[in-house]
């Protein structure tokens, strides 16, 4: 049984990960927006209990899950622990005595309650003592309406404000200045500003390594030489080679030993990940995690269609599909500086071909645009259940790698 969900990160004021919202559908063929809300929520809870834990899907971060009035009455939130769940009360639920009673009960049991897509009405003031988060869709609410809500919650300092559908850095900055606490949207996946910049010495070293590992034959001496010139990279390599994910019995103590033990495929992955991680330390860690997820997803799908894609090329291309957002620079300008094969550059620049379609697919999954994912999967002749399983595996892998590289 597969878990058909996408997760969208929610960041705090420092652009650090706070939680994920889980966007669920009942199977890949039942993906259109008119799916019954009660069924969607019940399937999500069922999956968390009998398929995989919510914490496995969210990396032990809180999960925002939508609840209808019926699923609240059925007590579904209480099938999850208070510390792993934020109960999102859907905007379609009308405020009334029954809902207020349910909110009081959940609040008394330690659950965090959030009002989704909030539009201010004075009747909601009765709920404010029990609500911890208010979400505002900034694409629907205008500035005057947003300020009205901010004024209404001033007497309730325990309420945190969450701006959702924040699509640009400018929108993020505006909501930040207004006093919002949390942010959800794709602003962090787009360049914050466009400016020319040169690569740092560390980035140059990483570019050298990317070039060396893109060759058919691995030049161990050349790669060792690059690592030996950068103490930080050497430390990261040895720490990674000795990390718990490999379950080694003896310690890896030299650069050459680490390179030999890791092997060509794992080394290429490590170098690609290190380039993403070191590219811009000021970027949200979740952006790097997203790039890692894309890389692993592309690698796993490429293994299913080896006749069309090289697996290691797919990994690196998926990883670099986020590099413009990480470096805050145009994709064409970045790729011109990097010594990479056209096989990697072309899909990222032209958005054409099988590899480009694969990147488009994972981007659609991230945004939970399920109807469009079906079109791309059919075009690539991919098994739909396998694709979902690969995405879930990629999420778990990226979370694990982030901890190993920290």
Read off the CATH number of the domain in which 143 is found.
3.20.20.450
Q: Is residue 284 part of a domain?
A: yes
Same-domain pairing of 257 and 185: no
Query: Is residue 348 a contact partner of residue 357, using CB atoms and an 8 Å limit?
Result: no
Query: Does 194 fall in a domain?
Result: no
150, 165, 189 — which closes off a domain? Answer: 189
Instruction: Tell me which residue of 395, 402, 389 sits closest to 301, measured CA to CA.
Output: 389
Look-up: residue for tokens 């925002």?
64
177 with 276, same domain: the answer is: no
Say yes or no: 218 and 134 in one domain.
no
State the Cα–Cα distance between residues 391 and 296, nearest whole angstrom. Answer: 8
Residue 26 pLDDT: 52
Q: What is the DSSP letter of 14?
A: T
- Its domain, for residue 351, covers 201-405
Q: pLDDT, tens digit, for every residue of 349-398?
A: 999 999 999 999 999 998 888 889 989 999 999 998 899 889 989 988 88
Kindly state whether residue 271 falls inside one of the protein's structural domains: yes
Is the domain of 243 the same as that of 389? yes
Q: Any residues with CB less than 8 A from the CB of 280 and at least 6 apart, and which?
A: 326, 327, 328
Query: Can you spell out the DSSP letters for 317-372?
Result: HHHHTTHHHHHTS-HHHHHHHS---HHHHHHHHH--SHHHHHHHHHHHHHTT-HHH
Higher confidence at residue 24 or residue 295? 295
pLDDT at 213 over 80: no
pTM of the model: 0.75
Which domain-ending residue is among 189, 215, 230?
A: 189
Class of residue 301 by CB neighbours under 10 A (exposed 0-12, middle 13-18, buried 19+): buried
Residue 57 and residue 114 in one domain: yes
Q: Is the pLDDT of residue 286 over 50?
A: yes
195 lies in some domain = no
Extract long-range pairs of 110-115: CB within 8 Å, 24+ residues apart: 110/82, 110/83, 111/77, 111/78, 111/82, 111/85, 111/87, 112/62, 112/82, 112/85, 112/86, 112/87, 113/86, 113/87, 113/89, 114/64, 114/86, 114/87, 114/88, 114/89, 114/162, 115/88, 115/89, 115/91
Write down which residue in 168, 189, 210 finishes a domain.
189
Above 60 in pLDDT, residue 27? no
- Same domain, residue pair 299 and 391: yes
* Long-range residue pairs from 343-350, CB within 8 A, at least 24 positions apart, any chain: 343/310, 343/313, 344/214, 344/313, 344/316, 344/317, 344/320, 347/317, 348/317, 348/320, 348/321
User: Is residue 31 predicted with pLDDT exceeding 50?
Assistant: no
Would 151 be classed as within a structural domain? yes
CATH code, domain carrying 206: 1.10.3210.10
Q: In this model, does residue 142 exceed pLDDT 70?
A: yes
pLDDT digits (tens, 9 = 90+) for 239-268: 888 876 676 667 777 888 888 888 877 887
Contact status, residue 391 vs residue 7, Cβ threshold 8 Å: no
| Highest mean pLDDT out of 90-94, 240-244, 245-249, 329-333 | 90-94
Q: What is the DSSP letter of 94?
A: P
User: Does residue 106 belong to any structural domain of this protein?
Assistant: yes
Whether 377 is covered by a domain: the verdict is yes
Q: Which token pair is 225?
A: 């030489």
Q: Quick one: 308 and 388 in the same domain?
A: yes
The verdict on 88 and 50 lying in the same domain is: yes
pLDDT score at 214: 67
Of 222-226, 285-289, 383-387, which has the strongest mean pLDDT?
383-387
β-pair partners for 183: 11, 163
Identify which of 285, 300, 369, 295 has the alpha carbon closest to the alpha carbon of residue 59. 285
Residue 159 has pLDDT above 60, yes or no: yes
Q: Are residues 183 and 66 in the same domain?
A: yes
44 and 150 fall within a common domain = yes
151 and 290 both lie in a single domain? no
Residues 144 and 242 in one domain: no
Over residues 121-148, the mean pLDDT reads: 95
Whether the predicted pLDDT of 146 surpasses 80 = yes
Say whether 20 sits in a helix, a strand or coil.
strand
CB 58 within 8 A of CB 19: yes
Q: How many structural domains comprise the chain?
A: 2
Q: Flag whether 196 is in a domain.
A: no
Beta-ladder partners of 7 = 22
* Amino acid 194: pLDDT: 46
- Structure confidence at residue 58 as a pLDDT band (50, 70, 90): confident
Rounded Cα distance between 197 and 200, Å, is: 9
Residue 125 above 80 pLDDT?
A: yes
């Amino acid at each position: 049984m597969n878990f058909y969900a996408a997760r969208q990160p929610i960041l705090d004021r420092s652009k650090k990960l706070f939680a994920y919202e889980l966007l669920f559908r009942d199977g890949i063929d039942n993906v259109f927006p008119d799916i019954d809300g009660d069924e969607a929520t019940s399937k999500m809870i069922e999956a968390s209990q009998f398929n995989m834990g919510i914490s496995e899907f969210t990396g032990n971060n809180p999960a925002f899950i939508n609840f209808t009035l019926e699923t609240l009455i059925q007590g579904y939130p209480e099938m999850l622990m208070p510390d792993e769940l934020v109960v999102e009360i859907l905007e379609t639920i009308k405020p009334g005595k029954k809902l207020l009673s349910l909110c009081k009960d959940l609040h008394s049991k330690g659950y965090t309650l959030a009002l989704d897509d909030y539009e201010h009405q004075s009747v909601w003031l009765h709920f404010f003592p029990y609500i911890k988060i208010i979400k505002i869709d900034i694409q629907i609410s205008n500035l005057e309406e947003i300020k009205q809500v901010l004024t209404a919650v001033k007497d309730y300092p325990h309420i945190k404000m969450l701006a959702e559908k924040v699509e640009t850095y400018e929108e993020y900055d505006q909501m930040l200045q207004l006093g919002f606490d949390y942010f959800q949207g794709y602003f962090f996946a787009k360049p914050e500003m466009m400016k020319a910049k040169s690569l740092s010495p560390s980035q140059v070293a990483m570019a050298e390594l990317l070039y060396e590992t893109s060759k058919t034959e691995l030049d161990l001496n050349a790669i060792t030489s690059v690592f030996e010139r950068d103490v930080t990279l050497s430390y990261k390599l040895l720490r990674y080679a000795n990390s718990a994910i490999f379950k080694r019995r003896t310690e890896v103590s030299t650069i050459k030993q680490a390179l030999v033990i890791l092997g060509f495929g794992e080394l290429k992955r490590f170098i690609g990940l290190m380039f993403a991680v070191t590219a811009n330390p000021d970027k949200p860690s979740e952006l790097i995690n997203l790039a890692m997820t894309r890389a692993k997803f592309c690698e796993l799908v490429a293994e299913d269609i080896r006749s069309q894609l090289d697996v290691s090329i797919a990994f690196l291309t998926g990883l670099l599909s986020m590099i413009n957002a990480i470096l805050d620079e145009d994709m064409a300008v970045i790729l011109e500086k990097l010594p990479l094969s056209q096989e990697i550059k072309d899909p990222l620049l032209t958005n054409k071909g099988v590899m480009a379609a694969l990147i488009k697919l994972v981007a659609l999954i991230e945004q939970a645009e399920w109807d469009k994912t079906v079109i791309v999967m059919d075009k690539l002749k991919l098994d739909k259940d396998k694709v979902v399983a690969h995405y879930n595996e990629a999420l778990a892998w990226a979370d694990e790698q982030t901890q190993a590289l920290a």
